[in-house]
Amino acid sequence: MYDEILLPVDGSPAAEQAMPHVFDLAERFDATVHVLFVVNTTRDSAGVVGGTVLDTLEREGRRVVDEVEARGERRGIETHGVVRRGAPHDAILDYATEHGVEVIVMATHGRTGVERVLLGSVTERVVRAAPVPVLTVRAAE
């Protein structure tokens, strides 16, 4: 059913909680897991400060991606990891399209009300625009 699964990660505890679901799906369907970390370069992010900050964020992203890849590989799951720059929701959707991803698995923080409006929700934007199913995993507090 699923051959290509995308797991966007950001190093947060919430993203960590999506991993068991991704790995279980991958094992069940003998699927490849694509691990994607996006360095947010939109005008509202810290990334616009300059090259040094972006380089630091990319190194941190690579560390997170490498760790997830290693966990998947220890379970015998083929993984591919990448770090990209851009608006997170756009980068996730673009990657999914470019790589023939059949399902995206993402954590959601469960924000509501003003907090959600002010902070926005990458997961919500992906759910609304994704050309494939999106499995959301609500993060425990």
| Residue whose tokens read 């409006």 | 117
Domains and CATH numbers, the chain: 4-138 (3.40.50.620)
pTM: 0.88
b/e for 51-86, b at 16 or more Cβ within 10 A?
eeebeebbeebeebbeebbebbeeeebebebebbeb
Work out whether the CA dihedral 112, 118, 120, 124 comes out positive or negative.
positive
Q: In this predicted structure, what is the pLDDT of residue 43?
A: 60
For each successive 10 residues of the chain (141 residues), what is the average pLDDT?
95 91 97 96 59 86 97 97 96 98 88 48 92 91 63
